[in-house]
Amino acid sequence: MVLADKDLLSIQEARQLVDQACEAQQKWAKASQAQVDRVCAAMADAAYLASERLGRMAAEETGFGVPEHKKLKNEFGSKFVWESIRDITTVGIINHDVERKIFEIAWPMGVIAGLIPSTNPTSTVMNKVLISVKARNAIVIAPHPSASQCCLETARLMAAAAEAAGAPQGLVNCMTQINLQGTQELMSHKHTAVILATGGSDMVRAAHSQGKPAYGVGPGNVPVYVDRSADLERAARYIVASKAFDHSVICATEQAVVADLPIAGRLAQLMEAEGAYFIDEQQAEALRKTLFFPNGAINPASVGKSPQYLAALAGIQVPPRARILTARLNRVGREEPLSREKLTTVLGWYEADGWEAGCERCIEIIRFGGRGHSIVIHAADEKVIMAFGLEKPVFRIAVNTMATLGAIGMTTRVMPSLTLGSGGIGGAITGDNITVYHLFNVKRMAYEAAPPPESALRSGTVPAGPVAGADPQEITKVVEEVVREILNSN
């Protein structure tokens, strides 16, 4: 009975918050560009200044990751994201094609349902709130239950800053009664216009099953190919640092190295110097059983943990200096659990002789669990880089950078985002990094550019139907005249 009461409370809260958001959004839809930008700047500043505190809250509440790294992600989700969208016009006329005589006009979508993961909670709230409000939408946040308090505090802080800067009350809000029924009510509510879902496969499937527009992201099983032409010192440093970053909870993190055979030994040495600890087969077997359940699902107890924590969980020994654990593998698929996405500090290692073989191995890894997501390549040979870009079934190809920071747009020039689309092949509607452009519609006001055909201006002569009592011969004559007119006009 208690559980049923919680369900009802969550459902009722979802309804109330969406109704409030709808009312606020109708007012916000009339805001000027200056008002929108003033409110968003205030929210970004407030979130940025609280980055350290909120990062610490997220790490303590979820048990995932590294507080210092969460601080950096919060700075990215606030200041970095805001700077990337600050100058984008989202109110009124956004484009005028003089030659084609078309005006393009931004139009908000309405109320956004923002589903938040436990792995990157506070930074994802910041990101989604900013791109939603910038597009003149309202947003209701639905946190993962294990990250409810840090998400609530982030939304509360940003809402207060927005209202102080002139936004209507209720424009930004967050659920406090968290369960599946309430989240489903939020997604299915008649006033919810768009679902913005970041999280596991189950969450994304639920978002796509509501009969509403939904931006969902799929899992990332990201391979990193290191070519014989690569700067090996840089590749080794970047791979280890990226995999260790926030204990590997970003979905774009490297999951397996595919090393070109001639440089594999040297790359392994360099990675060891950076803190990669290569485990033996007995240790790898213990980790297989620790990281995954028999059905292939990730063991939540292993997510976002240090190598030393994982070693204790698995009953093995690893040195204190280890930043990541690396397992030498030779298979990809269900029979090799460590070839799956690992949201923790464990990295697979494969060797392939030549970029063509490396290409095939990378595609195999992607098809097993990361269709449409991302890949990384370290190389100086442009032909190899281009071949990887053209051949892989993914929508982010990061070149000579950290996957973690490159795919989200911190170290590359792709649009900054913490919601990374995986395209049609990954079960998503887009392969883009989701940003403000995805959260407003565009009206097109088109002036006449060419006169209509003369035939379109003529009056029709076909009668609506036979008149009661009409002479059949007269009807036949009328039909024959119409047919002759049509044939002559052609």
- So which residues are the catalytic ones? 251
- The continuous run of DSSP H or E covering 236 comes out as helix 232-244
Structure tokens at 30: 């009339």
Q: How far apart are CA 486 and CA 490, in angstroms?
A: 6
Strand ranges inside 15-89, DSSP E:
none
DSSP class of 369: H
Q: How far apart are CA 159 and CA 151, in angstroms?
A: 12
The candidate with the shortest Cα–Cα distance to 441, out of 110, 39, 18, 28, is 110
The alpha helices in 275-402, defined as continuous H runs, are: 281-291, 307-314, 355-369, 382-391
Specify the amino acid at residue 294.
P
Task: Specify whether the CB–CB gap between 326 and 271 falls below 8 A.
Answer: yes
Round the CA-based radius of gyration of the chain to a whole number and report it.
28
The candidate with the shortest Cα–Cα distance to 43, out of 156, 136, 139, 121, is 156
Q: How far apart are CA 113 and CA 108, in angstroms?
A: 14
Q: Distances in Å between the alpha carbon of 140 and those of 36, 202, 399, 456?
A: 18, 20, 36, 49
Specify the amino acid at residue 343.
L
- Residues 6 or more apart whose CB falls under 8 angstroms from that of 300 comprise none
Task: Specify whether the CB–CB gap between 112 and 158 falls below 8 A.
Answer: no
CA angle 301, 59, 178 (to 5 degrees): 75
The candidate with the shortest Cα–Cα distance to 250, out of 103, 376, 377, 73, is 73
Helix 180-188 with 201-208: angle, nearest 10 deg? 40
Task: Specify whether the CB–CB gap between 90 and 440 falls below 8 A.
Answer: yes
* Cβ neighbours of 93 (radius 10 Å): 12
Q: Distances in Å between the alpha carbon of 233 and those of 45, 242, 246, 270, 271?
A: 37, 14, 22, 7, 8
Q: How far apart are CA 405 and CA 409, in angstroms?
A: 6
CA angle 350, 351, 356 (to 5 degrees): 115
Specify the amino acid at residue 35.
Q
